[in-house]
Amino acid sequence: MIDEAQDTIRNAGFLLAQRGFHILGSLLFAVLVPRLMGPNDYGRYALIISLSFWFMMFSDLGFTQIMGRYTPLFMLQGEKEKLQKFFTNLLTVSLVSGALVGCLYLLFTSLCLPDLDLFLFITMAATIVVRAAVHPFFTLFLGLNQAARWGMGEIFRHRFIIVSVIIGFYLRGLQGACLGLFLTELIVLSIDYLASQQKWTAEVHLQRYFTLIREIPTKRKAHALSQSPFEID
Residue 185 scores a pLDDT above 80: yes
CA distance 184 to 160: 6
Position 22: which residue type? Answer: H
Nearest CA-CA partner of 121 in 48, 185, 71: 48
Q: Place 47 in a pLDDT band, splitting at 50, 70 and 90.
A: very high
Q: What is the pLDDT of residues 131-152, one digit of tens each?
A: 888 878 777 776 666 655 666 6
Nearest C-alpha neighbor of 149 from the set 94, 114, 198 = 198
- Assess whether pLDDT exceeds 60 at residue 123: yes
∠ at Cα 77 (72, 82), nearest 5°? 80
Query: pLDDT tens, 91-122?
Result: 888 889 899 999 999 999 999 998 888 999 99
Q: Which residues contact 97 (CB under 8 A, 6 or more apart)?
A: 58, 59, 61, 132
Q: Mean pLDDT, to the nearest integer, of 199-218?
A: 46
Q: What is the pLDDT of residues 147-182, one digit of tens each?
A: 556 666 677 777 788 889 989 999 989 999 999 999
User: What is the average pLDDT across 85-95?
Assistant: 84
User: According to the model, what pLDDT value does residue 101 have?
Assistant: 93
Q: Which of 122, 187, 181, 121 is nearest to 153 (CA)?
A: 187
